[in-house]
Amino acid sequence: MKKNILSEIKKRIQKANKILLSTHIDPDGDTLGSMLALHLILKKMGKKPTMFSGDPVPDIYRFLPSVKLIKNLASPEDFDLIIALDAGSLGRLDPIFKNSGPEKIVNIDHHSDNTRYGKINYIAKVSCVGEQIYALAKHLKVSLDKNIGVCLYVAIMTDTGNFKYDNTTAETFAIAEEMLKLGVSPDKTANAVYENRSWPAIKLLAAALENAQSTAEGKIIYTVITKEILVNTAAHNQDFTGLIDHLRAIRGAEVAILIREDHEKNRVKINFRSKSYVDVQKISKELGGGGHSRAAGAIMHGDLLQIVNQVVGLTTAAL
């Protein structure tokens, strides 16, 4: 089954002349690492793929090899193959793709609720799309190197919460081992991603922890970041990376909720993380969002206090 899909993708790549690779909106370590690795793999096959991300690459990923080649403008109609990485639905891709039919699209993703919007859909139950690109590279018989290794290591590291989430498998560690043998430095890579926190991010974390509340006998931990806190800490979007994990790390917590007013737009972003049994994808869907069972989110509009009450109430009901 997997081998069949990998063969189909291989054929599709071989006959393509102009290939466009794309991240999802608000790109993270998996979508970027997977795209960059695939780009390097395709180049080894003699292809000249173009990489696209509509949203900017967060600072912490700017050390990745070839990252400067990522374009923020592209016309899908100029390409005969579009490979979407880590996007669960067409809506998770940049608006430039809204009129791209399925015909040209290869959809490589690991979200269980993927809508299969491509002509070829390679959907696997693995920790990250990085593991799928690894499998694809093996199938394509392209030899990996240190640069590809760093990209795949970042995909794995970030999507497993640095080997802490329940999607981490023996195979995940086996791939990590191989990446180290290729020369990837686990400390330098982890430093670049995790030890690269801005002062605004530090002050934001301090405020988030200081304001953290617990309810439902400590099973729910939530914190609210108001526009005022954003102004006081000078924090931006990317300064939130990893913040919610600190809430989940509190003893007895099953669900962590980060509720934050948006800097620019009149909306409230909700992020959920759960530890072992609450399906936060389900809660997010009720709020118009999506994600995974242990990590999900939604965007809401309206009065902050009402939203807090609704979100906490819905989560309490899901315990």
User: Interface residues with a copy of itself (CB under 8 A)?
Assistant: 162-166, 168-170, 173-174, 176-178, 180-181, 185-188, 190-191, 194-199, 202-203, 205-207, 209-210, 212, 214, 246, 248-251, 253, 275-276
Least distance to a copy of itself from the beta carbon of 133, Å?
Answer: 19
Q: Whole-angstrom Cα distance, residue 45 to residue 270?
A: 42
Least distance to a copy of itself from the beta carbon of 163, Å?
Answer: 6
Bridge partners, 268 (sequence order): 261, 300
Q: Which of 10, 8, 11, 13 is nearest to 81 (CA)?
A: 13
Q: Which amino acid is at 83?
A: I
> 194 or 308, CB closer to a copy of itself?
194
- What's 71's DSSP letter? B
Least distance to a copy of itself from the beta carbon of 275, Å?
Answer: 6
* Separation in Å, CA 106 to CA 35, 110, 177, 297: 13, 13, 29, 25
> 55 or 199, CB closer to a copy of itself?
199
> 73 or 170, CB closer to a copy of itself?
170
> 145 or 178, CB closer to a copy of itself?
178
Q: What are phi and psi of 184, to 5 degrees?
A: -65, 135
Least distance to a copy of itself from the beta carbon of 247, Å?
Answer: 9
> 66 or 185, CB closer to a copy of itself?
185
Token output for 288: 């118009």
Least distance to a copy of itself from the beta carbon of 43, Å?
Answer: 26
Collapse the DSSP code of 82 into the 3-class scheme (helix H, G, I; strand E, B; otherwise coil) and give the result: strand
